[in-house]
Structure 1
Amino acid sequence: MAFSGKYEFESDENYDAFVQKIGLPSDKVEMGRNCKIVTEVVQNGNDFTWTLHFPGGRTTTNTFTVGKEADMETMGGKKFKATVKMEDGKLIADFPNYRHISEICGGKLVETSTCSGVVYKRTSKKIA
């Protein structure tokens, strides 16, 4: 499955319940609410560069190779190590307190994060 492209936030579901469950600081909660984040993905085989562009110019970039441990950063700014897996065309990463799954559905980037039974889903449309 080819992930490469730029995707702009289109919609999300269950944001408030999810960020409360993972303990995101209140300033980050407000920053992320209905935020027009642009996700830029560069894929070269199993190598990925995954960048989140926030309004105001802030970015977060995670670079990883499927199946190899990599240094990562959460949307809250916490650094950790993770091994991203590919299963059935989906990228799966276990963050410190939630599981994150990314997939392409109908040309859109769909990201689903789950923490203690609370599921957050973000859909982004391809813009480039």
Structure 2
Amino acid sequence: MSFTGKYQLQSQENFEVFMKALGLSDDLAQKGKDIKSISEIEQDGKKFKVTVTTGSKVMKNEFTIGEEGDMELPNGQKVKALVQMEGNNKLVAKVNVGKGELTSITELNGDTLTNVMTMGDLCCKRISKRI
């Protein structure tokens, strides 16, 4: 199953609290929760390009499955991340954010992309639909 496509955010849970815990300002976390971000994913085998546009903020990350690489978090922090694929529809990323480990699981089921981020006992869930 290919992740390639454009997805628009439909719903999210605990976004504001999670982003504040990551170090995003109250103002930016509040603005971000009200914007329906667009995620564009290009998959070429094990190589991925992910562009997330939230209002005027554009975040681009490129990674290869199984190889540690540089990534940018929503708060602008640059980190090393390792992304693995489970089955053919689930991406699991582990990132050391200084305050502990952040785990991001992105799963594609049909036209629905579900992203669950966990850091300690905090969890944020975002659901997007292919457009």
After TM superposition, the score normalised by the length of structure 1 is 0.90
SS state at 1:98 partner: strand
Q: How do residues 31-50 of structure 1 correspond to structure 2 at under 5 angstroms?
A: 31-50=31-50
For structure 1, the residue ranges without an aligned partner over 5 or more in a row are none
Partner in structure 1 of residue 66 of structure 2: 67
Task: Quote the Cα distance in structure 2 between the aligned partners of 1:22 and 1:77.
Answer: 10
* Equivalent of residue 108 in structure 1, options 106, 112, 118: 112
- Whether 2:123 is the aligned partner of 1:119: answer yes
Deviation at residue 115 of structure 1 after TM alignment: 1.2
Which protein is richer in strand relative to its size?
2
Deviation at residue 62 of structure 1 after TM alignment: 0.3
RMSD: 1.4
**Looking at both structures, which has the greater relative contact order when contacts are Cα pairs under 8 Å and sequence separation is at least 6?**
1
Report the identity percentage. 37
How many pairs are equivalent? 126
Deviation at residue 30 of structure 1 after TM alignment: 1.9
Partner in structure 2 of residue 22 of structure 1: 22
For structure 2, the residue ranges without an aligned partner over 5 or more in a row are none
Q: Any runs of at least 4 consecutive aligned residues in structure 1 with deviations exceeding 4 A, and if so which?
A: none
Deviation at residue 114 of structure 1 after TM alignment: 0.6
After TM superposition, the score normalised by the length of structure 2 is 0.88
- Whether 2:76 is the aligned partner of 1:77: answer yes
- Whether 2:86 is the aligned partner of 1:87: answer yes
**Bigger mean CA offset, 99-108 vs 65-74:** 99-108
